[in-house]
Amino acid sequence: MGELVLAGAMVVALFGLLAVGFWIGFALMGVGLLAMTLFTSRPVGDALATTVWSASDSWGLASLPLFIWMGEILIRSRLSDGLFKGLAPLMRALPGGMVHINIVGCATFAAISGSSAATLATIGKITVPELKRRNYPDRIAYGTLAGASTLGLLIPPSIIMIVYGVTAQVSITRLFMAGIIPGLMLALLFIVFITVWGLVTEDGRRLREPRASFTEKLVGLRHLAPLALLILVVIGSIYTGVASPTEAAVLGVLGALGLSAAERSLTRESFIDGLMGAVKTTSMIMLLVAGSAFLTLAMGFTGLPRALAEWIGAMELSPWMLIAALTLFYIVLGFFLDGISSIVLTMAVIEPLVRGAGIDMIWFGIFVVLVAEMAMITPPVGFNLFLMQSMTGRDLGFIARAAFPMFCLMVVGVVLITMFPQLVLWLPSALLDR
């Protein structure tokens, strides 16, 4: 009973701090301070300093600012415009027409940005005006973009996978490999949805465009070549063992700078803006990681994770039932928190439960990232919904309804990787366990 009271008090304290405007990282630290001060005899000051330093001084996090900077450079370059010009001739004759560019464009840019927000901002800046000019319905254009941009979390290199890997102490390289097939599977589900829309709806049939000529497709491929080369260098260097994720991130930054310079879009202003954007995003994530680490320590001293694990263990849930319960838990949590916050906030309690149930932590990492994608398009705090609202001027309810089919397809994705875990585990095993 005492543990339940403590858990309730910590939840109330956390949401109270969030409600009055505390940053999530500081709110996590504040709850940890209260728990250690009121329920333990451990000195708080040295514990806070040591934990924050050790959480920040992790080699696994070294690639984080570099991948973020790479995405910031590409957002400010002309390479993103080339992405649309390259994909348009290849996509426009398919059922669903140019809407496919939302999916393929997001999947492609996700492979070089690692960020859902960066993917949405970059692809949306290009496709939203173009689809509007061609009279595609706002519902299908905005909904597919909001949903597909979440692929920035799942297709490596992924910022949220780096955070999970450090928090759960699992291989980031394996996580990157494990995310490829589920990411492509989810993109394929989105493409099938758009194809069906293009075949069965009047708008879809009306907007189908003529097939591009061979010359147009060839010119399009030339526009795609620089991004394809960058993806090959970054991802290929990791999977072939030539470079670690951190070293590959360095190659990515150098490649992005070189391509941006070749496109003549690298200026002193764009360089500084990109660098500052990377600093701000990295600082936000590092504060989350530090706050989560201290809360984890505080909870360990109070004995709450052990008590909670024993309580759930007494329920004798099967692994399938545990995954179903965690899916609902993270969906509800996603109503209020973004994906990275959900992971760092809960991993202290969830990790021992998952390990105790015999669930592979690499598989669970992809599962939790996929569920975190859902959080990006669930109101009232779906970050991608807010970003779409600011880009388009449409109300949040309309955008949430437009993105709901994509949410349902993500649920299908969770079911598929649960039924067939080798969708996640086969590639890292095939490449690393030879």
Helices 116-133 and 79-91 meet at what angle, rounded to 10? 60
Distance CA(31)–CA(37), nearest Å, equals 10
Task: For residue 405, give both structure tokens.
Answer: 């089919």
* pTM, entire model: 0.76
Tokens of 410: 């993500």
Res 247: pLDDT: 85
Let me know if residue 31 belongs to a domain.
Answer: no
Q: In whole angstroms, what separates CA 410 from the centre of its chain?
A: 13
Task: Give the distance, in angstroms, between the CA of residue 230 and the centroid of all CA atoms in the same chain.
Answer: 20
**170 within a domain of the structure (yes/no):** yes
Evaluate the CA torsion angle 110, 111, 115, 118 in order and state its sign. Answer: negative
Q: Which run of H or E residues covers position 123? A: helix 116-133
pLDDT at 312: 63
200 lies in some domain: yes
Amino acid 57 reads: D
Residue with tokens 């009232």: 380
The answer to whether residues 127 and 145 touch, using CB atoms and an 8 Å cutoff, is yes
pLDDT in tens, the chain (434 residues): 555 566 667 767 777 887 787 777 788 788 888 878 877 777 777 778 877 777 777 666 777 788 778 877 877 777 766 777 788 788 877 888 888 888 988 888 777 766 777 777 777 777 888 888 888 899 999 999 989 988 888 888 787 888 888 888 888 889 988 999 999 999 999 999 999 999 998 888 887 777 878 788 888 788 888 888 888 888 788 777 788 778 888 888 898 888 888 878 888 888 898 889 888 878 877 777 777 777 767 776 776 656 665 666 667 777 888 888 888 878 777 666 666 777 777 777 788 788 878 889 999 999 999 988 887 787 766 677 777 887 787 887 898 899 999 999 999 999 999 999 999 999 988 877 66
Residue 427: count of CB within 10 angstroms of its CB: 19
In a domain, 18, yes or no: no
* Cα gap 259→262, rounded to integer Å: 5
Measured distance between the N- and C-terminal CA atoms of the chain, rounded to whole angstroms: 50
Q: How many CB atoms lie within 10 A of CB 173?
A: 20
Determine whether 256 is exposed, middle or buried from the number of CB atoms within 10 Å of its CB (0-12, 13-18, 19+).
Answer: buried
**233 is a domain residue:** yes
Sign, CA dihedral 27-30-34-35, equals positive
Tell me whether residue 274 is in a domain.
Answer: yes
pLDDT computed for residue 336 by the predictor: 61
Within a domain: 5: no
Handedness of CA 180, 185, 190, 192 (dihedral sign): positive
Q: Which two tokens stand for residue 158?
A: 């992924």
363 within a domain of the structure (yes/no): yes
CA distance 255 to 267: 16
**Dihedral, CA of residue 72, residue 77, residue 79 and residue 81, to nearest 10:** 110
What pLDDT is recorded for position 418? 92
Q: Calculate ∠ Cα 342-352-312, nearest 5°.
A: 90
HSE value, Cβ hemisphere, 13 Å, CA-based, for 398: 13
Structurally, how many domains does the chain consist of?
A: 1
Give the residue numbers spanning the domain of 123. 52-432
> Is-contact 134 92, C-beta < 8 A?
no
What span, in angstroms and rounded, lies between the C-alpha atoms of 116 and 160?
10
